A and B are shown apart, each in its own frame.
Chain A
């Protein structure tokens, strides 16, 4: 399918029950789609709701209204209303996610963290580790760190582990939340290269990049999130 991700008229607000039930609108009427092989970038200032949109697509945030349609195993699934089991299945096979921060698990090595999504999809552990090694090598993570749990790594090292973990699978949709935030120039280039490869493979990418250089390099299209500002319709 040429357009594996369609977001249609999605709205989201937070109701803060601990603060007297005030309602904080986040976004409204979010509508866009991402085609296979393109990298769409969510643009707009901080607080415009870029991360919230990404999290709704991944299922971390609930959706108040609208639909998020994803092509999952050839079937259209509405993530806004899908049950948890379907969301998990979509995450395993269809939507990948590179978050801003690595949620480390004690005692699991960097190599294990990176290989895990492949292992979860049934790839042999040895093969998964081989692919993980290759990616970590490309991202210039010193080999002596591979067998260590990433909890004690620096921000940049953790970020590279996180990127490798996100890029190791061949999910048809990949969400990128500031993957290059704490990387040096060399590694930013590596990530740009990885994104290009994904595009060539027909992956639909949706990302947030604060770094203008990277955004310029990878973005096929900027989606201006300010047009979805909740205030516009909330009144």
Chain B
């Protein structure tokens, strides 16, 4: 682990008029660390994720990111060009619905290659070879490279979305319910794949999920949100094995045992 965090969030708040989206959120995220944000619908976890990923501007507070050159930058003071560049190179965003993160009408290969072309890769052969490699890493048969994601199953689409995000070697990936809407068996495979990729690539990730099992499997650290506030935070197994806040205890006790 390096001595400096990757992302520093201080007193971040987002209000929708007088309604609280999320309020006074502060935390640091270190390289290679996976943070799970859990909570029920409406708890503000997605608002927080969207603020962190600069898809939404917070009402107040700051978020600083350590760029690849080591410089700290205030995310909300960067120009839009810089932010968009960051989002397609050093960051990834995995949507719950793969159709939101994929181009459904272009081939799987082009979906993976788009980021490479966006940063100036102009060699078709290399782009395609990289796409083949990444399809393999997310367990999609190379023979499907020229198929459109429309012809893919939900699990395959989600894996393609992951490959599309990881091809530029990002250091930070945001995930919004990455396993939501998938069959349990498909979920397990995806989680396992994600877990492997996160470990192998040393990715830092912020994963929003309402599924505590997902949090347990993927994250080292978690924050529990309710009504826009963080009610409990800490090591994932500490929070899950010894929940302190009333709401966390309710969440943990609500898990169905199989």
CB within 8 Å of B: which residues of A? 14-18, 55, 59-62, 84-85, 87-89, 105-108, 120
State the total of A-B contacts with C-beta under 8 angstroms.
53
Check if A106 sits within 8 Å of B253, measured CB to CB. Answer: no
Within the assembled complex, what's the spacing in Å between the Cα atoms of A120 and B220? Answer: 14
229-258 of chain B: CB within 8 A of chain A: 234-235, 237-238, 241-242, 244-246, 249-250, 253
Within the assembled complex, what's the spacing in Å between the Cα atoms of A85 and B245? Answer: 21
Question: Which of B33, B188, B220, B235 has the most C-beta atoms of chain A within 10 angstroms of its own C-beta?
Answer: B235
Check if A105 sits within 8 Å of B238, measured CB to CB. Answer: no
Within the assembled complex, what's the spacing in Å between the Cα atoms of A17 and B143? Answer: 55
Within the assembled complex, what's the spacing in Å between the Cα atoms of A16 and B245? Answer: 9
Decide yes or no whether B24 CB sits under 8 A from chain A. no
Check if B250 sits within 8 Å of A18, measured CB to CB. Answer: yes
Interface residue from B192, B238, B241, B245 paired with A106 (Cβ < 8 Å): B192
Closest to A61 in B: B242
Check if B249 sits within 8 Å of A108, measured CB to CB. Answer: no
Contacts of B235 in A (CB 8 A): 59, 84, 87-88
Interface residue from B33, B195, B234, B246 paired with A105 (Cβ < 8 Å): B195
Minimum CB–CB distance from A147 to chain B (whole Å) comes to 16
Contacts of B249 in A (CB 8 A): 16-18
Contacts of A88 in B (CB 8 A): 220, 235
Contacts of A18 in B (CB 8 A): 246, 249-250, 253
Minimum CB–CB distance from B153 to chain A (whole Å) comes to 18
Minimum CB–CB distance from A11 to chain B (whole Å) comes to 14
CB within 8 Å of A: which residues of B? 1, 30, 33, 188-189, 191-192, 195, 199, 217, 220-221, 234-235, 237-238, 241-242, 244-246, 249-250, 253
Within the assembled complex, what's the spacing in Å between the Cα atoms of A224 and B234? Answer: 31
Contacts of B241 in A (CB 8 A): 55, 60-61
29 A–B pairs (Cβ distance < 8 Å), ordered by A: A16-B249, A17-B246, A17-B249, A18-B246, A55-B242, A59-B237, A60-B238, A60-B242, A61-B238, A61-B241, A61-B242, A62-B242, A62-B244, A84-B220, A84-B234, A84-B238, A85-B30, A85-B221, A87-B238, A89-B1, A105-B192, A105-B195, A105-B217, A106-B189, A106-B191, A106-B192, A107-B189, A107-B192, A108-B192
Contacts of B192 in A (CB 8 A): 105-108
Within the assembled complex, what's the spacing in Å between the Cα atoms of A28 and B73? Answer: 47
Contacts of B246 in A (CB 8 A): 17-18
Closest to B248 in A: A17
The 8 nearest A-B residue pairs measured at CB: A17-B246, A61-B242, A84-B235, A60-B241, A107-B192, A106-B188, A106-B192, A84-B221
Contacts of B195 in A (CB 8 A): 105
Closest to B220 in A: A88
Closest to A15 in B: B244
Closest to B217 in A: A105
Within the assembled complex, what's the spacing in Å between the Cα atoms of A120 and B192? Answer: 17
Minimum CB–CB distance from A102 to chain B (whole Å) comes to 14
Within the assembled complex, what's the spacing in Å between the Cα atoms of A88 and B1? Answer: 11
Check if B250 sits within 8 Å of A62, measured CB to CB. Answer: no
Check if A62 sits within 8 Å of B238, measured CB to CB. Answer: yes
Within the assembled complex, what's the spacing in Å between the Cα atoms of A62 and B235? Answer: 10
Known contacts A85-B33, A106-B191, then 18 further A-B pairs from the complex at CB < 8 Å, ordered by chain A residue: A14-B242, A17-B245, A17-B246, A17-B249, A18-B246, A18-B253, A60-B237, A60-B238, A60-B242, A61-B238, A61-B241, A62-B244, A84-B220, A84-B235, A106-B189, A106-B192, A107-B192, A120-B199
Question: Which of B234, B245, B250 has the most C-beta atoms of chain A within 10 angstroms of its own C-beta?
Answer: B234
Contacts of B220 in A (CB 8 A): 84, 88
Contacts of B237 in A (CB 8 A): 59-60
Contacts of A87 in B (CB 8 A): 235, 238
Closest to A120 in B: B199
Contacts of A16 in B (CB 8 A): 249
Contacts of B245 in A (CB 8 A): 17
Contacts of A106 in B (CB 8 A): 188-189, 191-192
Within the assembled complex, what's the spacing in Å between the Cα atoms of A14 and B220? Answer: 23
Minimum CB–CB distance from B120 to chain A (whole Å) comes to 34
Contacts of B188 in A (CB 8 A): 106-107
Minimum CB–CB distance from B22 to chain A (whole Å) comes to 21
Check if B238 sits within 8 Å of A59, measured CB to CB. Answer: yes
Closest to A89 in B: B1
Within the assembled complex, what's the spacing in Å between the Cα atoms of A61 and B239? Answer: 8
